[in-house]
Structure 1
Amino acid sequence: MKKVFKIIAWTLFGLVLSLFGLGALFMYKVQHGFPVTYETEKPELSLAAAKPAILLFSKTTGFRHGESIEASKPVIQALATKNNWVIYETEEGGVFNQEQLSQFKLVIFNNSTGRVLNDNQQLALEKYVEKGGALMGIHGAGDNSHHWDWYVNNLLGTTFSHHPLNPQFQRALVQMEPSADSVLKANLSASWEGNDEWYVFFEKPKNARVVYYIDGEKILPSGNMLWMKDKNFGMGKYHPVAWHKNAGKGRTFYTSMGHSKDAWANPAYVKLIEQGISWSIQ
């Protein structure tokens, strides 16, 4: 009987150890990316010359917000139809070359995570923005899996730390920043209720103009789990959730909201995306 108990105990111990190891490996991959393939073949582009063209890029090599990505596509396409834009949707990085990027008014990293472009493609996007192009990032595009200094400095202006875990999703009042760009905020709601996974960054975004913020003291921000015991902090009372920056002659826009498909059913959030696109391509 004792032998049986020993076998059961060692089996359970082995299972726990294996689960712990798999969890650690998964967290490492989320932060550092899964195996990466870089697409280098240039696609054939046929964009209507009379319409502003937008590149909607949803490639992921880190955590994939699949439901949000799929929910976003018809919504953004509907906004394009409404505003006379043209959307080129892809998860192939071959379009990131100077010649083809120049045909777009805006590039959207649509919950793109991990290392998604090779060195030459990253450089092409940097030059595109700095020469007058625009870059927008949605939610996961701002996590810490990209490992690209220019991108972090010019899209975010800050570094991702964690997101709340207990509970992961929380309701909060999203409030307009009074000093937000007057053109950008013209058609936006002064406040609205959001239910999202509120990203916590190590500091407020530098050299950025905030559009929306929440009261960070009214959410539970802790991201502690297992071996991570240093994530029990938030961003304080003033917690930005949407902002924009200048990058050379270009501009960037980022919102940390948009984790789930439900965000795309919220008219106030969709209006933020619409206004962010309009402002970016003006």
Structure 2
Amino acid sequence: MKKIVKIILWSLFGSLLLFGTALGIFFYKITNGFPVTYETEKPVIQFPQNQPAILVFSKATAFRHRESIAASLPVFTQMAQRNGWFVYQTEEGGVFNPEQLQQFKAVIFNNSTGRVLNEEQEQALSHYVEAGGALLGIHGAGDNSHHWPWYETNLLGTRFSHHPINPQFQKTEVHIEPAVDTILTQQLPASWVHEDEWYVFLDQPKGARVMSYINGDKINANGNMLWMKNKNFGMGSYHPVAWYRAVDQGKTFYTSMGHSQEVWQDANFVRLVENALQWSMK
């Protein structure tokens, strides 16, 4: 009998240990990503003449928003068809070289998380933007897994803290700032109801102009979970969810919306992203 009890206890201990290890690895991956191989081979790309080119980059080495990425790709293809754009979709970082980057009017970090580029590729992207290119980030592109100061300063201007846990997804009204560039606001209502995983940042984005916001007092922003404490705060009644800025001769745009596949069925969210692309190529 004692032997059976010991076996049960040791089995329980082993299961708890495995669960704890897996959970620890999961949270480490979310925050830091895992060591990754950086692709350096230049892809072969046939750029059509007289079509603005857009690079949609969906590589993720930290948390992967798998369903949102999969749902977004045909939407970007549809945008390209409507606007006469050429879209190149990839998860290979080899395209981040000066020669090929200069062929693109805009680069989208499409829920791209973690360290996805090596230092040479990061430098190529920062020089591309500063020389007149455009970088757009969607949702996971703004979490705290990137560990790249230029990126955090020039795309975000703030730092990710957490997202709500219970409930993780919440509906609330997205409001459009009326005084922003009209290209960004065209065909958008003054407000609409949207459901998403609402990112909470440590402060307002510095040096940026806010395009849209929610009332953060109308969501439950509590992010406390297990040993993750002191994350039961939000950003207050003025909680930006999309903003943009000039970076030397170039531009950046970021929206914290875009977690799930359902957002790509929201016509207003799709219009917001499409407007941002049109603005970036103006």
TM-score range, shorter chain: over 0.9
1:37, distance to aligned residue in structure 2 (A): 1.0
**1:189 corresponds to:** 189
1:48, distance to aligned residue in structure 2 (A): 1.3
Q: Which amino acid counterpart does residue 128 of structure 2 have in structure 1?
A: Y
Which aligned pairs between 1:85-124 and structure 2 lie closer than 5 A? 85-124=85-124
* Secondary structure in structure 2 of the residue aligned to 1:100: helix
**1:128 corresponds to:** 128
1:21, distance to aligned residue in structure 2 (A): 2.1
**1:209 corresponds to:** 209
Q: Distance in 2 between matches of 1:111 and 1:189?
A: 25
**1:70 corresponds to:** 70
Which aligned pairs between 1:255-266 and structure 2 lie closer than 5 A? 255-266=255-266
**1:12 corresponds to:** 12
Q: Distance in 1 between matches of 2:155 and 2:234?
A: 21
1:268, distance to aligned residue in structure 2 (A): 0.6
User: Deviation digits for residues 232-259 of structure 1, max 9, x if unmatched?
Assistant: 1111111110110111110000100010
Does residue 80 of structure 1 match 2:80? Answer: yes
Q: Which amino acid counterpart does residue 62 of structure 2 have in structure 1?
A: G
Q: Distance in 2 between matches of 1:248 and 1:31?
A: 30
Does residue 166 of structure 1 match 2:166? Answer: yes
1:29, distance to aligned residue in structure 2 (A): 1.3
Q: Distance in 2 between matches of 1:144 and 1:69?
A: 19
User: Deviation digits for residues 212-237 of structure 1, max 9, x if unmatched?
Assistant: 11111111111111111121111111
1:72, distance to aligned residue in structure 2 (A): 0.4
Q: Which amino acid counterpart does residue 100 of structure 1 have in structure 2?
A: Q
User: Deviation digits for residues 141-161 of structure 1, max 9, x if unmatched?
Assistant: 111111000000000110011
**2:175 corresponds to:** 175
Q: Distance in 2 between matches of 1:83 and 1:29?
A: 37
Which aligned pairs between 1:21-36 and structure 2 lie closer than 5 A? 21-36=21-36
Q: Distance in 2 between matches of 1:213 and 1:5?
A: 57
1:119, distance to aligned residue in structure 2 (A): 0.3
Q: Give the alignment's TM-score, normalised by structure 2.
A: 0.97
Is the Cα contact below 8 Å between 1:52 and 1:84 reproduced in 2? yes
Q: Distance in 2 between matches of 1:232 and 1:3?
A: 46
1:51, distance to aligned residue in structure 2 (A): 1.0
Q: Which amino acid counterpart does residue 187 of structure 1 have in structure 2?
A: Q
Q: Which amino acid counterpart does residue 194 of structure 1 have in structure 2?
A: H
Q: Distance in 2 between matches of 1:258 and 1:104?
A: 23
Is the Cα contact below 8 Å between 1:181 and 1:209 reproduced in 2? no
1:8, distance to aligned residue in structure 2 (A): 2.2
* Secondary structure in structure 1 of the residue aligned to 2:272: helix
Superposition RMSD in Å: 1.2
Is the Cα contact below 8 Å between 1:59 and 1:90 reproduced in 2? yes
Q: Distance in 2 between matches of 1:219 and 1:24?
A: 28
**2:242 corresponds to:** 242
Q: Distance in 2 between matches of 1:15 and 1:110?
A: 36
Q: Distance in 2 between matches of 1:187 and 1:265?
A: 16
**2:271 corresponds to:** 271
Is the Cα contact below 8 Å between 2:183 and 2:278 reproduced in 1? no
* Secondary structure in structure 2 of the residue aligned to 1:108: strand
Q: Which runs of 5+ in 2 are unaligned?
A: none
User: Deviation digits for residues 114-135 of structure 1, max 9, x if unmatched?
Assistant: 1000000000000000000000
Q: Distance in 2 between matches of 1:245 and 1:2?
A: 68
How many residues are aligned here? 282
Q: Which amino acid counterpart does residue 62 of structure 1 have in structure 2?
A: A
1:83, distance to aligned residue in structure 2 (A): 0.6
Q: Give the alignment's TM-score, normalised by structure 1.
A: 0.97
Q: Distance in 1 between matches of 2:140 and 2:130?
A: 23
1:15, distance to aligned residue in structure 2 (A): 1.7
* Secondary structure in structure 1 of the residue aligned to 2:55: strand
Q: Which runs of 5+ in 1 are unaligned?
A: none
**1:51 corresponds to:** 51
* Secondary structure in structure 2 of the residue aligned to 1:166: coil
